[in-house]
Structure 1
């Protein structure tokens, strides 16, 4: 992808993107920041609890694997908006975990450690699914199944 191609696909002059972004990395950082904002909205505490929030999170990741990998891949730019969005997404997940602990859906303990465990499991399950490794051997296990099992174990 080039900024020139972005302009062409957007139906504007090939130079138009350069008026808004210094380079391709800056454009991708903006896309990633918007995706992180969407993920933050999905996991914000609300009806359905942490299980419903994480199911929505997984569904978005699986519907948009390129964006998922863009957001959670290695970044080589220091972008303030991307940093803000990452902090907001982390805070939203932490708030959802804390709400889950208050409601009894999740165990008490360090909410940061629990949020990291849930995020790592969700991301690992998505990557296994995207790589075709989760369904090996005829398994019908989904990323939602894995996260549901973890939540069940945590709730015991």
Structure 2
């Protein structure tokens, strides 16, 4: 397996920065049907998770305990064959605040970079933990979108 590289944004004037992510030895691909995965998905409010074709689910473990879940695959955007998308499903509540989301995100970026050229990330404006994860990975905020819905 090679080291994944994505353009991470612009820094230091106009110099483009590339970042490499190494595999995390405590993260491994998982089958969504496993009982421990189902329990974690339920804890994270994602019991109805359905992975798209070609997506891979990964779990971060502490010993034998599954503590965080994420997935990656093609973005699904028209013309986005070479663009990766990552679903940071989450870190189980008892394990938050320890940098585990950051570790899992870095691992997923590396795995996604093995098959894709680009990654665009997004999160809600109020998801401060995910925004910190993006910043730590070298991402740069390029824009903000507003979504409206009828009550």
TM-score norm. by structure 1 comes to: 0.25
Q: Bigger radius of gyration, 1 or 2?
A: 1
TM-score norm. by structure 2 comes to: 0.26
